[in-house]
Amino acid sequence: MNSSTSLRVGLLLTALAAAACSEEAPPPVYQAIPVARRDIVVSASAAGAVEPVTTVDVKSKASGEVIAVYVETGDAVKPGQQLVRIDQRTPLNALRQAEANIEVAKAQLANADAQLKRAEDLHQSAAITDQEYESARLQAAQARAQLVAAERTLQDAKISYEDTDVRAPIAGTIIQRTVALGTVISSAMSNVGGGTVLLQMANLDTVQVRALVDETDIG
């Protein structure tokens, strides 16, 4: 290749390079995103335990020996369902005595009312003194008060008898059974320690997770 040809080739390459440099680069492409307040979600992994939100310690208002347990751990129960039975002999005897006392009080009141009616007739005919008449009225009033007291005692005896059947306070699942047949338990009503826990139950419809999370994962 002679010198003139080389010169022409060099000039051509220089011109092509200058033309390439003179072309403008395409403008960058931007995506428009509206500004808005948003939550930042931070996730962390940790080991923990699933626990019920609501747990209930089932206790008895009655004291005595456990003679029957009708549920086991894991059983689902309804409100009012019978769970445990406590020895009923002493409360039953008290109930029968209260029922007998009611009959005695009714008979005494009937007799006192009859005596008062007779005293009223005699008093009107001046056959008895005012003091004797007032005495008859007092005896009738006392007999009526004794009947009221006997009725209250009977009501308390019925409640004590019914308390020997321990029932579920809420709907839930038995998660722990702490008594067995023959266990002697104390009442939650009279014991300063709060009484014996018979069962523990929980509502498993709502649970919570308890776990240890490193603060660097959420900080």
The DSSP string of 164-203 is TEEE-SSSEEEEEE---TT-EE--TTT-TT---EEEEEEE
List, by residue range, all CATH 1.10.287 domains of the chain. 88-163
Rounded percentage of the chain residues whose pLDDT exceeds 70: 87
| Model pLDDT, residue 53 | 87
pLDDT digits over 41-75, tens only? 777 787 888 888 889 999 999 999 999 999 999 99
How many residues does this entry show for the chain? 219
Which pTM was predicted? 0.70
Q: How far is CA 82 from the centre of its chain?
A: 16
Assign 17 a pLDDT band (cuts: 50, 70, 90). Answer: low
What's the sign of the alpha-carbon dihedral 136, 141, 147, 150? negative
| Tokens 């649970």, residue located | 207
What's the sign of the alpha-carbon dihedral 28, 33, 35, 37? negative
Assign 4 a pLDDT band (cuts: 50, 70, 90). Answer: low
What's the sign of the alpha-carbon dihedral 57, 59, 65, 66? negative
List, by residue range, all CATH 2.40.50.100 domains of the chain. 49-87+165-219
User: With b meaning 16 or more CB within 10 Å and e meaning fewer, what string describes 50-61?
Assistant: eebeeebbbbbb
CATH for 88-163 is: 1.10.287
CATH architecture of the domain covering 49-87+165-219: Beta Barrel (2.40)
pLDDT digits over 120-137, tens only? 999 999 899 999 999 999
pLDDT digits over 167-217, tens only? 999 999 999 999 999 999 999 887 777 899 999 999 988 888 888 877 776
| Model pLDDT, residue 18 | 58
Asked if 195 and 189 count as a contact pair (C-beta separation under 8 A), the reply is yes
Asked if 170 and 79 count as a contact pair (C-beta separation under 8 A), the reply is yes
- With the CA atoms of 52, 54, 60 and 61 taken in that order, what torsion angle do they form, in degrees rounded to the nearest 10? 170
> Measured between alpha carbons, how far is 216 from 186 in angstroms, rounded to an integer?
49
Which element (helix H / strand E) includes 135?
helix 130-162
